[in-house]
Amino acid sequence: MHVLVVGATGYIGSRLVGRLLAAGDRVRVLARSPDRVLVHPWADEVEVVPGDVRDTGAVRRACGGTDAVVHLVHAMDGPGYAERDREAAHVLADAAASAGVRRIVYLGGLQPDEDTGRVSGHLSSRREVGDILLAGSVPAVVLRAGIIVGTGSASFEMIRHLTEVAMGGPLVLPLPDRLWNRIQPIAVDDVLHTIDGCLRLPDEVDRAFDIGGPDVLTYRSLMSEYAAEAGLRRPLPLPVPLSAPRLTARAVAALTPVDRALAQPLVESMRHELVCDPADLAALDELIGSLPGGPTPYRTAVRRALDGVGAAGPGPADPPGSGPAEWTSTDGYDVDAPAQAVWAVIETLGGEHGWYTVPGVSTLTGFLDVLAGGQLPRRHPDGPPRLLAGEPLDRWVIESVEPGERLVLRAAAPLPGVARLELRVRATGRLTSRYEQTVRFRPRGLAGRLAWLAVYPGQRFVFAVMARTLTGVAHTRYQRQLRSPIRR
């Protein structure tokens, strides 16, 4: 089968393309920015048609000669997204009909019952796009999904990061009462299986289906069950009668990597109960069958995401901040000295030699002391420092060593998170090298995030001085070595 994927560089599309190729399908992608295709492992196996989803000429060229189209474009990137999605749907419906495409598959959103009041703009737009495609002359399947569980999914990342912030807080957790509404999440693997199966349905199937996993949970339960899988403490939730989606979206944007423009429509949709029609699930299962072992339970899907397994794991083009929260800062310098000269300085770190940083900031104590909430006892190795995995190095523990190339230290202090310091050197020429020094902090709960914000300005200065001084020492020592008499 020859398949056009519109939205191939997005979350679902980037994973679907690999699945289709593995099944032996030919794949063409429509890309507004073709360079974004290059980061994917399947880049050399697909045909790329440059163009925007609202460009009639580009979409017609992309549809030409294909058997089926998967439409995965959801703008949701600011004001006017509904109008842009509507226009793109009309362009695709017309282009597919002109090109003789046999099937369109569209991934939209679950819809609330009609008697629940005004539907959020985000869900209304998804329903409108589906209606446009179903009204066209090309047989279409509209799949309506709720929260998709997997690393990189905006809704799942919102759940992940809010949970990790909240579950490190007080024993009683105030939550907006809309979090007691129900939702039927679905694993990303199940979504890909369903899209793939729907591409191969007979022409007479022309309708919408609700799709979801086996569990119907409240939004609060999504957080609680995530906490259980992640090994986090689960506080007692306290419902608060609060309906302020804009304010809530600001809070979500502040506490998670999800952009405010994306957070607001997602938060607005939480006021609805989004549960699948069981008749749809049964009909779809009859048509395409389910995955071996049946639909994926929510906690199994969460575990796959935490473990980075398959499609549930990270992808090369996932939005920034996908996956566990981790803040990093890197300093790098080109050095007029060979890599072994820089490594020789790295081997002297700690103990009486110090850390080549701000005078008085012994063993980077300012950074670790503030994170730990108090002054820590100093920890020195017995005798000269040794770069061996598991050995102490002042207030750090050596986590891994690649002699001459890379050293990774983990803070031994009881911190509200995990801090690592990575030092790496590589040769760039016979007598030149590149030194890179990276600090990573993975916070635990709200306390960890607040602690990092408190120390960030100071630690950036301290570590920048360390990187500059360490490379300067390496250069100076190497120059002295060149000028010293040759010993026979």
Task: Determine the pLDDT at residue 5.
Answer: 98
- Second-level CATH architecture of 2-312: 3-Layer(aba) Sandwich (3.40)
User: Are 385 and 348 in contact, with CB atoms under 8 Å apart?
Assistant: yes
Question: The dihedral of CA 11, 14, 20, 26: what is its sign?
Answer: positive
Q: How far is CA 38 from the centre of its chain?
A: 18
The domains spanning 2-312 and 327-483 adopt the same CATH topology? no
Q: What is the predicted pLDDT for the residue at 361? A: 53
d(CA 445, CA 435): 32
The secondary structure of 372-437 as a DSSP string is: HTSPPPP---SSS----TT-EETTEEEEEEETTTEEEEEE-S--SEEEEEEEEEEESSSS-EEEEE
Q: What are the residue ranges spanned by the domains of the chain?
A: 2-312, 327-483
Q: d(Cα 459, Cα 472) in Å, to the nearest integer?
A: 20
H or E, element range at 6: strand 2-6
Residue 488 pLDDT: 43
* DSSP conformational letter for 173: E
Q: What is the CA radius of gyration of the chain?
A: 27
Q: Give the separation between CA 144 and CA 312, rounded to whole angstroms.
A: 19
Give the SS3 label for residue 323: coil
| Spans of the chain below 70 pLDDT | 76-78, 114-117, 167-178, 235-265, 359-386, 485-488
H or E stretch at 331: strand 327-335
- What's the pLDDT at 236? 65
Written as six digits, the tokens of 71 are 């439409």
Q: Which pLDDT score, from 0 to 100, does residue 403 have? A: 94
d(CA 238, CA 171): 10
pLDDT of residue 379: 47
* pLDDT value at residue 165: 77
Mean of per-residue pLDDT scores for the chain: 86
CATH superfamily of 327-483: START domain (3.30.530.20)
